[in-house]
Amino acid sequence: ATPTALMVGTGRGAQLGILIKGPEVLETTRKIDTIVLDKTGTVTTGRMTLLAVHTAEGTDETDVLRLAGALEHASEHPIAQAVAAGAAERTGTLPVPEDFTNVPGLGVQGVVEGHAVLVGREKLLAEWALEMPVELARAKAAAEAAGRTAIAVAWDGEARAVLEVADAVKDTSAQAVSRLRALGLKPVLLTGDNKAVAEAVAAEVGIDEVIAEVMPEDKVDVVRRLQGEGFSVAMVGDGVNDAAALAQADLGLAMGTGTDAAIEAGDLTLVRGDLRAAADAIRLSRRTLGTIR
């Protein structure tokens, strides 16, 4: 394509809500055959809500909400914000943690009112050699079968509760996936969340391939592996945990509603956070380069 055509393509992109880092980006989109989609914040809104609290026998729900809410209040994770907001709504002012550590991809841990508290995936509890009592394991399985994320809460060496949180699929995601397919791309859902939740979201938007329970630092390896299998890979993401994968992908598309780290790592920014713009971007580049009319 001529430099003028590339400039026109870039300008048209801006009108469609797509910011392109440079005209050379258009060239790489031509060969893309696979598109990896981050789940939380990309396919879903990322705005989570605390839906239910399941307590172990002898545990008080207010204690669960105060201790878990206090710790999550210190984290910026969408799940953490849902737990903190739900806890504050139900119990009032939350205590301030004496100690707090974010454990990326797993949860949070710290000290609240003298108790050593963990909030996060069952894997985080397992790292502390804690097991869930059978009634909590059952609540977790039921929540996940319903497509919700189940978060464990433990303190002073005992698993005490399971929290159910969920976020909604964006109403544009299913249409975006079908447009990406129409462009000949194979969509793959990639997430740190558990398999059951990921599969429920995938089914809702029409994706067959799911790669779940991937640690933040391993997302880049998933992209590398697909590339090693000969695929030309686009990646769409919004989080700090997506930045390395966005940089590794042949084409990185960042949600404009996402973190600065993702936007800096991407080749393209989908300004409005609408996944349909990913299909627009690829169609536009191909058209600009004369591959399709």
| 164/238 with CB nearer Mg ion | 238
Phi, psi (rounded to 5 degrees) for 165? -125, 155
Rg (CA), the chain: 21
Do residues 245 and 220 touch, judged by C-beta distance below 8 A?
Answer: yes
Of the candidates 33, 38, 167, 274, the residue annotated as catalytic is 38
Closest CA to 161 of 169, 153, 151: 153
| By CB under 6 A, residue 202 contacts ligand ADP | no
How many chain residues interact with ligand ADP (CB under 6 A)? 23
Q: Which does 252 bind (CB under 5 to 8 A by kind): Mg ion, ligand ADP, none?
A: none
186-245 positions binding Mg ion, by CB under 5 A: 238-239
Q: Which does 149 bind (CB under 5 to 8 A by kind): ligand ADP, Mg ion, none?
A: ligand ADP
| Residue 245 parent element (H or E) | helix 243-248
Do residues 81 and 72 touch, judged by C-beta distance below 8 A?
Answer: yes
**DSSP-assigned letters across all residues of 137-160:** HHHHHHHHHTT-EEEEEEETTEEE
Q: Of 151, 176, 180, 244, which one interacts with ligand ADP (CB under 6 A)? A: 151
236-275 positions binding Mg ion, by CB under 5 A: 238-239
> Which residue type does 199 have?
E
| Residue 84 parent element (H or E) | helix 78-91
Question: Least separation, in Å, of the C-beta of 255 and Mg ion?
Answer: 8
Query: What is the rounded distance in angstroms from the CA atom of residue 29 to the CA atom of residue 251?
Result: 7
| 140/286 with CB nearer ligand ADP | 140
* 267 in active site: no
| By CB under 6 A, residue 108 contacts ligand ADP | yes
Closest CA to 46 of 85, 84, 88, 82: 82
4-63 positions binding ligand ADP, by CB under 6 A: 38-40
| By CB under 5 A, residue 40 contacts Mg ion | yes
Question: Least separation, in Å, of the C-beta of 17 and Mg ion?
Answer: 19
Known catalytic residues are 38
Residues at the interface with ligand ADP (CB under 6 A): 38-40, 72, 75, 77, 79-80, 105-108, 119-121, 149, 151, 191-193, 216, 239, 241
